[in-house]
Structure 1
Amino acid sequence: MKKALTILVCIGCIVILQNCGSSKKASKTATAMAVSFDKDVMPIMQSRCTPCHFPPDGRKKALNTYDAVKANIADIIARVKLPQTDNGFMPWKNKKPALSDSLINVLVEWQKQNMPQ
Structure 2
Amino acid sequence: MKKIQLIALILPLSILMVNCSSAGKGKSAYVEAKKISYETDIKPIITTSCTPCHMPPQGRKEPFQNYEQVKEHITAIIARVKLPQEDRKFMPPVNKKPALTNDQVAVLVQWQQQNMPQ
Fold match (TM-score > 0.5): yes
Specify the SS of the correspondent of 1:106: helix
Distance 1:5 1:116 in 2: 56
TM-score (norm 2): 0.80
TM-score (norm 1): 0.80
Distance 1:4 1:72 in 2: 66
Query: 1:15 deviation in Å?
Result: 2.8
The residue number in structure 2 matching 1:7 is 7
Superposed CA RMSD: 2.4
Query: 1:111 deviation in Å?
Result: 1.3
Distance 1:102 1:112 in 2: 15
Matched residue count: 117
Query: 1:29 deviation in Å?
Result: 4.2
Matched residue type, 2:86? T
- Which segments of 5 or more consecutive residues in structure 1 lack a partner in the other structure? none
Distance 1:64 1:9 in 2: 63
- Which segments of 5 or more consecutive residues in structure 2 lack a partner in the other structure? none
Query: 1:48 deviation in Å?
Result: 0.1
The residue number in structure 2 matching 1:57 is 58
